[in-house]
Structure 1
Amino acid sequence: MFKVQGINHITIRVSNLDESIKFYVNVLGAKIVHKGNTDIYLDVGGVWLCLIEIKDAKPMDKNQVGVDHFAFTVSEEHFPKAVLMLHEQKVSFTRGPIQRGGGNTVSFTDPDGNEIEFFTGSLQKRMKNWN
Structure 2
Amino acid sequence: MTVKPEIKSNSLRPGSLRKVHHIALNVKDMAASRHFYGKILGLHELTGEEVPKTLINLVAAGKVANFITADGTVIDLFCEPDLSPPHPDPSQAFTRANHLAFDIDPQLFDSAVEVLKANQIQIDSGPVTRPTGKGIYFFDPDGFMIEIRCDPS
1:17 aligns with 2:21: no
1:54 aligns with 2:80: yes
Of 98, 104, 123, which residue of structure 2 is paired with 1:93? 123
Q: Classify the secondary structure of the residue corresponding to 1:4.
A: coil
Q: Classify the secondary structure of the residue corresponding to 1:113.
A: coil
Q: Classify the secondary structure of the residue corresponding to 1:91.
A: coil
Provide the residue aligned with 2:19 in structure 1: 6
Aligned length: 122
Deviations along 1:1-60, one digit per CA (max 9) or x if unpaired, are: 550101000000000111110111112101111433200111122321000000211115
Q: Classify the secondary structure of the residue corresponding to 1:84.
A: helix
Identity of aligned residues (%): 25
Of 106, 110, 127, which residue of structure 2 is paired with 1:76? 106
Q: Which runs of 5+ in 2 are unaligned?
A: 1-11, 48-58
Supply the distance in 1 between the matched residues of 2:45 and 2:96 (Cα, whole angstroms).
Answer: 26
| Bigger Cα Rg | 2
TM-score (norm 1): 0.85
Q: Which runs of 5+ in 1 are unaligned?
A: 123-131
Pair 1:85–1:11, CA change in 2 (3 A):
same
Provide the residue aligned with 2:43 in structure 1: 30
Cα RMSD of the aligned pairs, angstroms, is 1.8
